[in-house]
Chains A and B, each alone.
Chain A
Amino acid sequence: MAPDLLLTARNLTKKFGDFTAVDGIDVEVRKGEAFGFLGPNGAGKSSTMRMVGAVSPVTSGELRIFGLDPETHAQQIKARLGNCPQKDLLDEELSVEENLWVYGRFFGLSKAEVRERATELLEFAQLTERRADKVEHLSGGMKRRLVIARSLINNPELLLLDEPTTGLDPQARHILWDRLFRLKRQGVTLIITTHYMDEAEQLCDRLVVMDKGAIAAEGSPKDLIARYSTREVVEVRFDADDHGAFADSLSGIGERMEVLPDRILLYADDGDAATAAIADRGIDTLSTLVRRSTLEDVFLHLTGRTLID
């Protein structure tokens, strides 16, 4: 395999009993890139991440991380990996810095190393002031930041982030994105799952859209938007409960239309022109809003469903 491929998955499958959580996906992640798994609840993102983290056995297919097979080299893989799981898994009885120390020691790092790195990472996660507090008393977002800091304690080459910013306030999210950018510049490879479109667009060089255990599309955010959507979208709302009733009156405007319970989306390269067309037809809307196309639209197009409902 090519030396710069940190992860390759071929026909990777995960079953729980009869239920297929991950259904034969093919993925490659190169050294230094930020790769995203985007998908709704239950898509199989976490199941994939756990296999990649070498904590959950592969049901079938082939998986290599750093070129190693997790079935036989789990310890070697985990030594080089940072894992920020979806659930925090902190020891709430211990203090913030104790959590970092203890975890670092699990990797066989010396006391001095652990202390040095913990100090840096507390700064990184903006938790220096809370270092001596019991984790129990932190807010949800602070715990999340601590988990991310903890996942970096062993100076990982590959960092797995399963919904890293869930529960963070907008400011904390932006700061975290900035930190993750810096890590990437330092050469750390990132694999991120999220169901936030803006996060995927901000962070990921390349991503796959997952749905029901399978990959629905793959590419850079820009590619995907270009391929599966138009440049702009007009969101039209009516003063009515059933937006489906208005679909006919709008047909022909833009290239494509999606009817949602609370609005109708019109896909058009020129949003203003589409808005003008609606006005020309004399249709009485509650509001019209022109915006840029996002991954949300890609997802809607691919699966016929919104991501967060």
Chain B
Amino acid sequence: MSEDLSSLSAEAPPAARHPGASRLSAGARRPLGWVERVGVLVAYHWVLFKRTFHGALVSRFLLPVLFLASMGLGVGSLVDESSGGVDGVPYLIYVVPGLVMVTAMNVGVGEATWPVMGFIKWNEFYRAMLHTPHRVLDVLLAHWVMIAFNVLISAGAFMVVAALFGGVDSWWSLLALPVAVLVGMAFATPLFVVGAKAANDSIYSAVFRLVITPLMLFSGAFFPIENLPFWMQPVAWATPLWHGVELGRAAFLGGPVPDLWAVHVGVLVAYTLVGAWFSVRAVRDRLVA
């Protein structure tokens, strides 16, 4: 069989009623380009997003703001009274970038746990996608694009509220947004591996309890990790959240670019890419066996 597919798309009727007409006619069909493939799948996630958005408002937007009020204002008043803030800034200013990154982590994790298991194991809708002209990589990429978008708007909304509370005082803070997206993805892509491999969702309780909560508490979001016992500091260095918090704080304080900025970015990118690579493999093993 020697059909040259690329030439066939050129032969498609030029003035078709709909631009995609050749995708309904007999014979080879006009293939979807890479961007279009991911795009049509993202469009599906967008439908879901619009549907579930309001249901997630509390955990997405309200909880971070409550944390801000409790930690930034409440505990902050104790800190400022007793030691005049942290590193020369009021505690509220200190903690806001930490909370931005914690929010990014939580949204990335939330989107990459139960929903993923749903697509793989419960309604198995990933399988339905694979019955159409898409590969595992397309399916996952589209989902990741949507998660990144989720992280972006959650972190952004939080920053707006923090600014109203007086917790933002430099335009450089906007640089924290791309960092937040990276933090969200550094947690999200590795969790796809768990979703593809786990037998059921009880594993997630353990993930939250034993990984996410301690990370939130010990990654320098609320206090400098120098206050931790010395042996815990290397643990913080290994976690994506700490790197995000360091970058985010530098952006918020508008201070000098941290010496190790490339290392911080590198670690976040590495988590994201390694997680992505293993999740493509894991999902393929599970769904395309």
Q: B102-137, CB under 8 A of A: which get 1 and which 0?
A: 000000000000000000000111011111111100
B1 to chain A: which residues have CB within 8 Å? 1, 64, 66-68
Cβ of A30 under 8 Å from chain B: no
Interface of A is mostly: loop
- Given A93-B48, A113-B21, A117-B24, output 18 extra A-B contacts at Cβ < 8 Å: A55-B127, A56-B289, A68-B1, A74-B133, A75-B31, A79-B29, A80-B28, A83-B131, A89-B124, A90-B125, A94-B47, A108-B32, A108-B40, A109-B18, A109-B23, A109-B24, A110-B18, A154-B132
Q: What are 23 A-to-B residue pairs whose CB atoms are below 8 Å?
A: A55-B131, A75-B31, A78-B132, A79-B23, A79-B31, A80-B26, A80-B27, A89-B123, A89-B127, A89-B128, A93-B48, A93-B51, A94-B47, A102-B44, A103-B132, A106-B132, A106-B134, A108-B23, A109-B24, A110-B20, A113-B20, A113-B21, A154-B132
Residue contact B124 to A76, C-beta cutoff 8 Å = no
| One of A56, A105, A106, A110 near B19 (C-beta < 8 A) | A110
Interface residues of A in 151-167 (CB under 8 A from B): 154-155, 157
Q: How large is the interface on A (under 10, 10 to 19, 20 to 34, 35 or more residues)?
A: 35 or more
Q: Could you tell me which B residues sit within 8 Å of A by CB distance? A: 1, 3, 5, 18-21, 23-32, 36-37, 40-41, 43-44, 47-48, 51, 123-125, 127-135, 287-289
Q: With CB as the reference atom, state the residue of chain A lying closest to B287.
A: A55
B79 to chain A, nearest CB (A): 45
The complex places the Cα of A103 from the Cα of B127 at a distance, in Å, of 12
Residue contact A112 to B131, C-beta cutoff 8 Å = no
Residue contact B29 to A91, C-beta cutoff 8 Å = no
A110 to chain B: which residues have CB within 8 Å? 18-20
The complex places the Cα of A108 from the Cα of B133 at a distance, in Å, of 9
Cβ of A98 under 8 Å from chain B: yes
Residue contact B288 to A55, C-beta cutoff 8 Å = yes
B129 to chain A: which residues have CB within 8 Å? 106
Residue contact B288 to A85, C-beta cutoff 8 Å = no
A102 to chain B: which residues have CB within 8 Å? 44, 47
Residue contact B18 to A112, C-beta cutoff 8 Å = yes
Residue contact B40 to A103, C-beta cutoff 8 Å = no
The complex places the Cα of A89 from the Cα of B118 at a distance, in Å, of 11
The complex places the Cα of A56 from the Cα of B131 at a distance, in Å, of 10
Interface residues of A in 93-121 (CB under 8 A from B): 93-94, 98, 102-103, 105-110, 112-113, 117
Residue contact A75 to B23, C-beta cutoff 8 Å = no
Residue contact A57 to B31, C-beta cutoff 8 Å = no
A111 to chain B, nearest CB (A): 9
Residue contact A154 to B24, C-beta cutoff 8 Å = yes
The complex places the Cα of A56 from the Cα of B123 at a distance, in Å, of 19
B228 to chain A, nearest CB (A): 43
Residue contact A107 to B44, C-beta cutoff 8 Å = no
Interface residues of A in 242-290 (CB under 8 A from B): none
Q: With CB as the reference atom, state the residue of chain A lying closest to B2.
A: A67
B30 to chain A: which residues have CB within 8 Å? 108
Check A80/B40 contact, CB under 8 A, given A16-B289, A68-B1: no
Residue contact B24 to A113, C-beta cutoff 8 Å = yes
Residue contact B131 to A53, C-beta cutoff 8 Å = yes
A114 to chain B, nearest CB (A): 9
Cβ of A92 under 8 Å from chain B: yes
The complex places the Cα of A72 from the Cα of B288 at a distance, in Å, of 15
Q: With CB as the reference atom, state the residue of chain B lying closest to A101.
A: B47
